[in-house]
Amino acid sequence: MPAPDFFIVGRVRKAHGLTGELVVEAITDAPDAIFASGRRVFAGTHDGNLAADRQELHITGARPFKGGYLVMVQEITDRTAAETWRGRYLLLPGSEVAGLAEGEVYLHDLPGLRVELPAGELLGTVLDVYELPQGVVLDVKREQGSVMIPFRDEVVVRVDVAAGLLVVDPPAGLLD
């Protein structure tokens, strides 16, 4: 699966104050760099897609706020305008996203991978990926339904996106 042209880096939760500040949930490992003054992000839709008008938003300031960030952008100057952004995503071009470190994968690369047990036995195919408070969970479609497998170091033995393979060693009882 090719890498997307744009990556989601945040989601606007609500407006804050009267001057157009946005409460943003950071969806990135580097929020301080992404939401730094002088950076730009692109407007996304409520579904996480790039907005049709490809509007750029220029960040003029940001600070931590209740588990997220208060972000000020040049294009939003009052609360009324900020309210229209509730639930929308903020995106960054793929060319501006730092590359992966050794052993890391993008979650969007996991659906469609063949899932095998360490001995090579086919378990199924990754149908979807869920980010839950407990961590990332894979929904693996099997011949007889599906199973949720935690995406943790002690369970996921190997991920080879190029080969379309994910090897798991699930704890006893998980597949019963």
Tens digit of each residue's pLDDT (9 = 90 or more) over 110-164? 999 999 999 999 999 999 999 888 888 999 999 888 999 999 999 999 999 889 9
Answer yes or no: is pLDDT of 26 > 70: yes
Answer yes or no: is pLDDT of 1 > 90: no
Q: What is the pLDDT of residues 65-97, one digit of tens each?
A: 998 999 999 999 999 999 999 999 999 998 887
Whole-structure pTM over 0.85, yes or no? no
Domain CATH for 44:
2.40.30.60
Whether 102 maps to a domain, the answer reads: no
Domain that holds residue 50: 6-96
- Same-domain status, 41 and 85: yes
Whether 21 maps to a domain, the answer reads: yes
Long-range contacts of 70-75 (CB under 8 A, 24+ apart): 70/16, 70/21, 70/22, 70/23, 70/24, 71/10, 71/21, 71/22, 71/23, 71/24, 71/35, 72/19, 72/20, 72/21, 72/22, 73/20, 73/22
